[in-house]
């Protein structure tokens, strides 16, 4: 089973940049999208059906042109859960889960903390999601939480850990939360198979950051411990350039 997670920074813009051609070649079984920035009726769903994804689940934010997640699948899930039931998260369209026969996949878009009020929102989201995930795994032990976490975990995951140590995305409190989340029963699949590889999944649009590889690794497939031995491959697909992020791939 091949699962790809991709923050597309606007699904309509990504399509104009060749997303469909890339998706046809990449051919995942499940595609988790973040930051779709579109309402469901603004998405060309027929395009994705023709690419082999008849089962499409879209969870936009209430605010138009903002946030939102989706899951596209070749096979019919047993169950799909939209949101978490936590109003602050669900208004912004940040969590969507599909349950398959042997495992469940969640597409998650964790907030960024680019201003004081959004950092407070992010930290609150992190606390509430941690408690939610703890409870969820009692019901769904074989869980993969993929998406844009908006956090670099370790110095190897960011191009300038010294200068950026006080910037949201690499704050001690954020990194500690990610450690706590993993300690609760998840493994970072990319780092599990690539303990010393320094690769990134997001680059600023400014200062030619992507060309200079001044990046951050913000996108993860977090795999619950019961599935750890099923991880076959975990790759960052840096050649895909439809967004300021690139896709990340997991095979289980």
Active-site residue identified among 148, 157, 188, 219: 148
**157 assigned to active site:** no
Please, which residues bridge with residue 55 across strands? Answer: 73
Q: In whole angstroms, how far apart are CA 20 and each of 13, 26, 122, 243?
A: 11, 10, 32, 13
Distance CA 209, CA 212 (A): 5
Reading the block at residue 35, the tokens are 């930051």
Distance CA 42, CA 85 (A): 25
- CB count, 10 Å around CB of 42? 14
Reading the block at residue 3, the tokens are 């699962």
* Those residues with Cβ within 8 angstroms of residue 219's Cβ, 6 or more apart along the chain or in another chain: 5, 6, 7, 146, 147, 148, 149, 201, 202, 236, 245, 246, 247, 248
Residue 218, phi then psi, degrees to nearest 5: -110, -15
Q: What residues act catalytically?
A: 148
């Amino acid at each position: 089973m091949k699962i790809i997670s991709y923050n597309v920074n606007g699904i309509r813009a990504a399509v104009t940049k060749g997303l469909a051609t890339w998706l046809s070649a990449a051919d995942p079984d499940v595609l988790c999208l973040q930051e779709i920035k579109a309402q469901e009726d603004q998405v060309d769903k027929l395009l994705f059906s023709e690419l082999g994804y008849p089962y499409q689940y879209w969870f936009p934010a209430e605010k138009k042109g903002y946030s939102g997640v989706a899951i596209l699948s070749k096979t019919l899930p047993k169950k799909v859960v939209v949101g978490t039931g936590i109003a602050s998260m669900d208004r912004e369209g940040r969590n969507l889960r599909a349950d398959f026969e042997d495992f469940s996949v969640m597409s998650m878009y964790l907030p960024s903390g680019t201003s004081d009020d959004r950092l407070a929102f992010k930290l609150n989201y992190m606390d509430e999601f941690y408690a939610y995930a703890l409870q969820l795994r009692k019901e769904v032990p074989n869980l993969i939480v993929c998406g844009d976490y908006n956090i670099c975990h370790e110095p190897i995951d960011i191009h300038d850990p010294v200068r950026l140590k006080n910037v949201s995305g690499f704050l001690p409190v954020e990194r500690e939360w990610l450690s706590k989340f993993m300690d609760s029963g998840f493994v970072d699949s990319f780092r599990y198979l690539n303990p010393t590889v320094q690769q990134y999944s997001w680059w600023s649009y400014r200062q030619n950051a992507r060309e200079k590889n001044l990046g951050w690794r913000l996108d993860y497939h977090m795999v619950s411990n019961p599935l750890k031995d099923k991880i076959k491959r975990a790759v960052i697909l840096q050649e895909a350039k439809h967004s300021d992020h690139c896709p990340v791939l997991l095979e289980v």
